[in-house]
A and B are shown apart, each in its own frame.
Chain A
Amino acid sequence: MKQLMKGNEAIAEAAVRGGCRAFFGYPITPQNEIPEYMSFRMSEVGGVFLQAESEIAAINMVYGAAGSGARAMTSSSSPGISLKQEGISYICGADLPCVIVNMVRGGPGLGGILPAQSDYFQAVKGGGHGDYHMLVYGPSTVQEAVNIMYDAFDKADKYRLPVMLLGDGMLGQIMEAVELPEMKDVNSFPKKKWATDGSGIGADRRVINSLFIDPDSLEKQNHSLFSKYELLKRNETQYEEYMTEDAEYILVAYGTVARVCRSAVDILRERGIKAGLFRPVTLFPYPTNRLYQIADKEELKYFLSVELSMGQMVEDLKLAVNGKKKVKFFGKVGGNVMSPEEIVDNLVSKIEEN
């Protein structure tokens, strides 16, 4: 049965049903409904909820909890996610699984609270110090966010890395009808033999650590991390295409913007302009191979990356297309979201430029 839910609350409930039993957070708009929801929901399911003294403390609580085997998560928004970067780097360095929600707001600095995609680089290129990545999703609807969150802990555990759900205030605050999945049985999850649950002694003791003082060991650890990312590229890359089959112009957008782009494609098609939409669902791994393939299509004139940033994802798009086709950019920032008509006008003006 579908029910009407606010994005943030639906995401929180999906996390609970996906097995989350520990939540550590700190207030920041526009994600406050997640910790608020978890504050009562965790006690209902026998989990742990704690409002930390800072985002820094919260991510390190996640580190401890995840390291001891718990399905742990935190959520925040841009400035708070910046504060978590040190902890995220340690979590990646120590091969720990966890889930992080970033309801992105405009920046830099304190910025604003309205929708933005200006943390794309931070999310997909690492964000903290060192060579690492997370599995990053950019859901477009509340239902999609729910579905992703439901399986996020399984993915995090499988690869032993953080999964980030990259949303924005629009996704967090919008109310949509959602179908919630069944509660997963927490006793059915695979046992984590590497976790420091306290039982270790002698040769069986476990160490959670990101320090590799010997250069060969650190090099090995870096290669080990990147072999996981190769698996992600092979197994987890997700995207959606809408009317790309015969498209002369392909809009590339994720999250909130992809929804607006879909309407723009409909308007363009009505006007006889063959437009399509390519929507990456995973932002890391980026659907590079598919875009490289699409770029070979003879009728395709160019890609247009549409983002709520000054141009971040467009760089990954250009790398994917590798010069085979032109890649153009249209962005709005500051919390302003473009209308379908603005996208249509931008695309048409770019056609006329040529």
Chain B
Amino acid sequence: MEILYKKSRMLTDTPLSYCPGCTHGIVHKLLAETLEEIGAEGNVIGIAPVGCSVFAYKFFNCDMQQVAHGRAPACATGIKRCNPDKIVFAYQGDGDIASIGIAEIIHAAARGENITVIFINNAIYGMTGGQMAPTTLLGQKTTTTPYGRVVGINGNPIRLCEMIATLDGPCFVSRVSVSDPVNVRKAKKAIKKGFENQINKKGFSLIEVLSTCPTNWHMNPVQSLNYVKNEMTKIFPLGVFKDCQEGN
């Protein structure tokens, strides 16, 4: 029998812990496929954050470190500086990277650390039950903004890619989405580029993936994907914000 499709070797057999309709699973698949395609097997160290993807260390079939909330870029720096020929990636959520760990990501980017960072932006703290995130949209209801996020009280959402792209250090900064098959393919391309940059010693790559949280958004999976497409992309436009190979 001909095999038409199989799970990436870079994923373990551990069942994913994510909720139905959550797009972490899609991103895990894209990331694992990419690692396999670039030949990272047996040559890669991943970092799991604090948040919904805290258990990522169970899912990727490679050496993994779980690290304190927000500190993945610092941890990745420590690993990469001591192992410059190994591939190092950090996987972070919005609270992790854009709130508690904003200093770490900015400085890792400014130093041009030769690492690849995958940033899952679902505009909410999922693991803790749906509190406001640094990327929560204005008007969006969360358990700590029960009347919706209001500028005068809660401030504005942070556009991390745009901020990071102002720095001279990073090589590649891109925001993608996995809301439909076309965008999934684009996301895969961006992730792959992030890793190819690392292999070619081009420096820091950040790929932000707009993602869903049906559970805490109180939507079904289809509504969630539409919310990403129709609402999130208005505040977080997709695109490439910096690409050292394109000369910008």
Q: Which residues of A does B touch, CB under 8 Å? A: 21-22, 24, 48, 50, 52-54, 56-58, 60-70, 72, 86-87, 90, 94, 196-202, 205-211
Contacts and interface: CB of A to CB of B under 8 A. Distances in A.
Nearest to A210: B66
A69 B58 CA distance: 20
Interface in B67-109: 67-68, 71, 74-79, 81-83, 86-87, 103-104, 106-107
A22 B82 contact: yes
A68 B104 contact: no
Contacts of A53: 103-104, 106-107
Given A60-B68, A209-B57, A199 B42 contact: yes
Contact of A68 (B41, B57, B71, B78): B78
B86 A197 contact: yes
A202 B66 contact: no
Given A22-B82, A197-B83, A200-B42, 13 more contacts: A50-B77, A60-B68, A61-B74, A90-B68, A94-B66, A198-B44, A198-B63, A201-B62, A205-B62, A207-B65, A209-B57, A209-B65, A210-B66
Interface of B: 41-45, 47, 54, 57-58, 61-68, 71, 74-79, 81-83, 86-87, 103-104, 106-107
A62 B78 contact: yes
A61 B75 contact: yes
Contact of B78 (A65, A201, A210): A65
A132 to B, nearest CB: 14
A99 B69 CA distance: 22
B63 A199 contact: yes
Given A50-B81, A64-B67, A210-B66, A196 B74 contact: no
Given A61-B77, A201-B61, A87 B66 contact: no
Contacts of A87: 68, 71
Contacts of B103: 53-54, 56-57
Nearest to B110: A53
Nearest to B85: A198
Contact of A198 (B58, B66, B87): B87
B82 A202 contact: no
Nearest to B111: A50
Nearest to A52: B74
A87 B67 CA distance: 9
Given A57-B107, A207-B66, A198 B74 contact: no
A196 B43 CA distance: 10
A129 to B, nearest CB: 11
A207 B47 CA distance: 10
